[in-house]
């Protein structure tokens, strides 16, 4: 990756997190990254923060790159693909984080059979704790997936799946941080209700979620095993489990993932029109 040049088209929140991750992890030198968006002020800030090159000219930025990352909002996809068509060569790798925009639509929009890797990252990429699924388009090979894996690996976990699974990934990890924010918020309120000052309840709730996730990841144990290990007969945890089960905590989370997946599929169809 060290000699690769990357152009990031639509250098907003998600792309900014990826640029930060690539620079911090020394995946490639800042001079090999060019960030493009319309706002010169925002570009100046990216240059100041990460030392990357910048441009308000998408075509010029893309022409000089080996890898072109597309990170504009899905609503802007058609316009930007049209703008870039004729500038992207078949030997350039295109990586897209645009939700719901298929690899086939990207190849069609760019009018070139270049390799395309589509990704669904999530916002914890901002703190190098992202969860990203990547998939290969028709013209992408293992070496292209490996490059995309290196890019997203700089900001967290990466898995490879078929493109048909990307709506489900959107429902699980793409939208998932929101479910956990709601759980943290509710736990804070529970702590406040039981007399803990809000600021302290907030610290305890967030650290509890962080610690529980870290235990699942680092021990490799099934969450149900970890749950059973801390469930004392007649104790507090089993008493709470009974309440949470009777109110459908697990079912409601499964329903949430299912609903977000279906909505992702609906939106993909809208962007395809």
Ligand X SMILES: NC(=O)c1ccc[n+]([C@@H]2O[C@H](COP(=O)([O-])OP(=O)(O)OC[C@H]3O[C@@H](n4cnc5c(N)ncnc54)[C@H](OP(=O)(O)O)[C@@H]3O)[C@@H](O)[C@H]2O)c1
- Min. distance of Cβ 207 from ligand X in angstroms? 23
- For ligand X, give the closer residue by CB, 183 or 196: 183
Minimum distance from residue 74 beta carbon to ligand X (Å): 5
Residue recorded with tokens 């395809």: 272
Structure-block tokens of residue 171 = 């429902």
**What are the distances in angstroms from CA 232 to CA 130, 157, 187, 226?**
34, 33, 21, 12
Q: Which is nearer to ligand X, 163 or 221 (CB)?
A: 163
Closest contact distance (angstroms) between CB of 250 and ligand X is 24
**Beta pairing partners, 158:** 132
CA separation for the pair 115, 177 (Å, rounded): 30
Q: How far is the CB of 75 from ligand X (least distance, A)?
A: 8
Binding site for ligand X (CB under 6 A): 9-10, 12-15, 36-39, 42, 58, 71-74, 76, 79-80, 97-99, 120-123, 174
Our CB check for ligand X shows the closer of 61 and 145 to be: 61
Nearer to ligand X, 71 or 201 (CB): 71
* CB 17 to ligand X: min, Å: 8
CA–CA gap between residue 237 and residue 231 (Å, rounded): 5
Q: How far apart are CA 154 and CA 24, in angstroms?
A: 8
Residues in the chain: 273
Task: Give whichever of 13 and 262 is closer to ligand X, judged by the CB atom.
Answer: 13
Nearer to ligand X, 59 or 203 (CB): 59
**Which residue in the shown chain puts its C-beta closest to ligand X?**
12
**Closest approach of Cβ 260 to ligand X, in Å?**
12
CA 167 to chain centre: 13
């Amino acid at each position: 990756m060290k000699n690769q040049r990357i152009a990031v088209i639509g250098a907003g929140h998600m792309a900014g997190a990826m640029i930060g991750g690539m620079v911090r992890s020394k995946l490639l030198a800042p001079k090999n990254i060019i960030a493009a968006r319309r706002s010169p002020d925002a570009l100046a800030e990216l240059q100041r923060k990460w030392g990357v090159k910048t441009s308000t000219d998408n075509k010029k930025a893309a022409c000089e790159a080996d890898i072109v990352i597309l990170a504009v909002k899905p609503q802007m996809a058609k316009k930007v693909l049209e703008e870039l068509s004729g500038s992207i060569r078949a030997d350039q790798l295109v990586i897209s984080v645009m939700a719901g925009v298929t690899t086939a639509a990207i190849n069609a929009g760019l009018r070139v059979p270049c390799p395309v890797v589509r990704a669904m990252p999530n916002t914890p990429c901002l703190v190098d704790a992202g969860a990203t699924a990547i998939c290969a388009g028709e013209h992408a090979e293992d070496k292209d997936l490996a490059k995309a894996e290196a890019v997203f690996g700089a900001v967290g976990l990466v898995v490879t799946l078929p493109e048909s699974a990307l709506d489900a990934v959107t429902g699980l990890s793409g939208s998932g941080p929101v479910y956990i924010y709601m759980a943290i918020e509710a736990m804070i309120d529970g702590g406040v209700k039981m007399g803990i000052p809000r600021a302290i309840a907030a610290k305890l709730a967030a650290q509890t979620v962080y610690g529980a996730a870290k235990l699942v990841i680092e021990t490799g144990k099934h969450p149900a095993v970890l749950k059973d290990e801390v469930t004392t007969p007649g104790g507090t945890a089993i008493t709470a489990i009974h309440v949470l089960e009777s109110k459908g905590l697990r079912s409601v989370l499964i329903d949430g993932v299912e609903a977000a997946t279906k909505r992702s599929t609906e939106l993909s169809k809208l962007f395809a029109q």
